[in-house]
Amino acid sequence: MKQRIERRRTTRNFTMVELLLVLVILATLAAIVVPKFTGRSEQARETAARTEIAGLETALDAFEVDHGFYPSSDQGLKALVEEPSGVKNWRPYLRKPADSDPWGNPYIYVYPGKNNTYGYDLSSRGADGREGTDDDITNWKK
């Protein structure tokens, strides 16, 4: 009886050829699938930056409604999280500071705006990290 149990155990094990075959199939699938998803991470970062800029615009507009003006360029986006001097009845407009875009660069906030003359300019430098290039994400039309 022990021999039957031992035989069953040995017949249930995978052979080296079967394991190699599974590895080849997995490698083939990975070679097909991975390239399709490589462009997705950059697209996800761009979408995240656009979404964060839209959220910052909402917070900036709420600040303007409450106080009658937008934060100055010197106060920057920090005025949405920390009370700037000289502002009465301030409240937090964001839960956490918008320190940087998905690429790790700080958002650029300018008030009064050069592109939005009646408001503010808000932008991300994009993937290349340089201002004024085609990959910049902005709150104005280029």
Residue 62: give its domain's CATH number: 3.30.700.10
Q: Quick check: is 9 in a domain?
A: no
Q: Quick check: is 31 in a domain?
A: no
Angstrom CA distances, 43 to 56, 102, 107, stand at 20, 11, 18
Q: Quick check: is 23 in a domain?
A: no
pTM: 0.71
Return the percentage of the chain with pLDDT > 70, whole number: 88
Torsion of Cα atoms, 122 then 124 then 129 then 130, to 10°: -40
Angstrom CA distances, 68 to 71, 89, 91, stand at 10, 12, 14
Mean pLDDT of 90-117: 90
CA distance 102 to 115: 23
Band (pLDDT 50/70/90 cuts) for residue 23 is confident
Closest by Cα among 21, 125, 122 to 71: 122
Could you list the residue range(s) of the whole structural domain that residue 95 is in? 44-138
Q: Quick check: is 93 in a domain?
A: yes
Q: Quick check: is 38 in a domain?
A: no
Q: Quick check: is 131 in a domain?
A: yes
Number of domains within the chain? 1
**pLDDT one-digit tens code per residue, 54-76:** 999 999 999 999 999 999 999 99
